[in-house]
Amino acid sequence: MRKTIAFILLLMLPFIFAFSQSDVLKQAKATIKNGDVKELQKMVDKIIVDPSTKDKADTWYVAGRVQQRKAMEQMEKAYLRKPYDTLTLYNSILYMCQYYLRCDSLAQLEMKPGKINKYRKDNQRAMLADKGNLLNGGIYYYNRATEGDTLNLSLARNFFGTYVDITVNDMFSKENLIPRDSVFSQVAYYTCLAAMRIGDNSSILKYAPYAEDDAIVGQYAMEFLSQAHKQRGNQSLWIETLKRGVEKHPQDDYFFANLIDYYGSQNNYEEALEFANVMLAKSPDNYYYQFVKGFLYQNMRQYNDALVYYRRSIQANPDYAEAYSNVGLVYCLQAQEFSQEAVTDIKDPRYSIDQAHLKSFYEKALPYYEKARELKPNEGSLWLNGLHRVYYNLNMGDKFNEIDAMINGN
């Protein structure tokens, strides 16, 4: 008999507990205007996690109103020129907006199609009034963050992201906020920037599309987006994003270079050339597209074609050191291939002819490597080994010794 009674009581406990939390919700709602904020917060802390109340629109409406009152207290102090807590103000506005968004989504589930819930008007007014402080809060926490500071960067991401969430939310569709908000796409980018620094690819995938058309930061948002797809192993989406990036931001070499690198890694030079031709047809004077096409021909060992496009790249941009360096490299590659076929017997009459021809490749390479050095003296990878090889084969003793000392650290 005792076991039976105990079992019945055990079954009743969830209902008793649920009833008590529903009472807490009713009490909080009834006292939301004038009740003690600290006591209200204690109630909210319970009802937003309790299974019987956490999925009710009333719960999140009350939670949002408590945060709204906290923010208003700080604003009143500021208005009266009294000391106020900036962080409490920012954080309360963040939570208020997040809670009101949650409230609206739950309330709409309870409504008939086409009907609007009773909370929306008040919640809209509150969020629009304080939306600007979400941007201020995000800036505050982002500027406060040091390298590896996941806490402040996460907070910055939350502030910026909530700003975007409000702007794109269906509850503001009639207000048409996006075209009226001059910083919307940049805030979406800031969200991605903070997310990138903490390795949050999910947020980048969510917010980057809102920034990709921005004239100032769109290219960087799309770089983050492509990296997020790649890190998640979504190769098709990575390639699609790179292609879209080339179309939208042709001035940014990142997308074109990564796409060409991908084709090269797959030995798919024909498709890479086809893509390069499409881009050159759109921008025939683009020195980088010319350079890349030369690079593709170089990898295909079609050296004469490579030289044509490297020279076109130089013609389009006479200060492009990389193109000069690669012209020098192509001549050295031609010399290497020719040396494998050249006559090596000094008694053979063809020997002197072949040696003169071999020397001519290095003579052609010389001015291009020296020009690369002149343009970028601090980037030895463009010219150091090339000049070492050229000076050696042209028997240019003093210059060879200089380069040799640089290579050996003397």
Spatial distance between the Cα atoms of 158 and 216, rounded to a whole number of angstroms: 22
7 or 195, which is more confident: 195
Q: CA angle, corner 74, sides to 69 and 76, nearest 5?
A: 90
Spatial distance between the Cα atoms of 237 and 352, rounded to a whole number of angstroms: 57
* Measured CA distances, 272 to 206, 249, 326 (Å): 30, 18, 19
Say what the pLDDT of residue 247 is: 87
| pLDDT tens profile 259-294 | 988 988 888 898 899 888 988 998 899 999 999 999
- CB neighbours (10 Å) of residue 325? 24
Spatial distance between the Cα atoms of 138 and 160, rounded to a whole number of angstroms: 5
Sign of the CA dihedral with 115 first, then 117, 123, and 125 last? positive
> Do the beta carbons of residue 27 and residue 39 sit within 8 Å?
no
Say what the pLDDT of residue 27 is: 81
Residue listed under structure tokens 């994003």: 241
Q: What's the whole-number mean pLDDT along residues 85-93?
A: 95
| pLDDT tens profile 54-83 | 999 999 999 999 999 999 999 999 999 999
| pLDDT tens profile 346-355 | 888 899 898 9
Say what the pLDDT of residue 3 is: 47
Q: CA angle, corner 396, sides to 391 and 401, nearest 5?
A: 75
172 or 343, which is more confident: 172
- From the list 156, 34, 159, 190, the residue with the least C-alpha distance to 92 is 159
| pLDDT tens profile 373-385 | 999 999 999 999 9
Say what the pLDDT of residue 410 is: 58
Q: Which two tokens stand for residue 377?
A: 């003296």
Average pLDDT of the chain is 90
Q: Which two tokens stand for residue 373?
A: 């050095």
Amino acid type, 268: N
17 or 34, which is more confident: 34
| pLDDT tens profile 107-155 | 999 888 888 899 999 999 999 999 999 999 999 999 999 988 999 999 9
Local confidence band at 18 (pLDDT 50, 70, 90 cut-offs): very low
- The secondary structure of 316-335 as a DSSP string is H-TT-HHHHHHHHHHHHHHH
Local confidence band at 19 (pLDDT 50, 70, 90 cut-offs): very low
Amino acid type, 387: L
Local confidence band at 239 (pLDDT 50, 70, 90 cut-offs): very high
Q: What's the whole-number mean pLDDT along residues 33-45?
A: 87
| Residue 159, φ and ψ in degrees, nearest 5 | -65, -50
| pLDDT tens profile 310-343 | 999 999 999 999 999 999 999 999 999 999 988 8
3-class SS string, 343-381: CCCCCCCHHHHHHHHHHHHHHHHHHHHHHHHHHCCCCHH
203 or 347, which is more confident: 203
- CB neighbours (10 Å) of residue 79? 9
Q: What's the whole-number mean pLDDT along residues 235-252?
A: 92
Residue 166 Cα to chain centre, angstroms: 21
Q: Report which DSSP code applies to 348.
A: S
3-class SS string, 162-194: HHHHHHHCHHHHHHCHHHHCCCHHHHHHHHHHH
Q: Provide, rounded to the nearest whole percent, the portion of the chain with pLDDT above 70.
A: 95
| pLDDT tens profile 135-145 | 999 999 999 99
Say what the pLDDT of residue 21 is: 65
Say what the pLDDT of residue 296 is: 93
* Measured CA distances, 99 to 130, 152, 155, 317 (Å): 14, 21, 16, 55
> Do the beta carbons of residue 358 and residue 338 sit within 8 Å?
yes
Sign of the CA dihedral with 20 first, then 44, 128, and 170 last? negative
Spatial distance between the Cα atoms of 215 and 345, rounded to a whole number of angstroms: 64
> Do the beta carbons of residue 99 and residue 60 sit within 8 Å?
yes
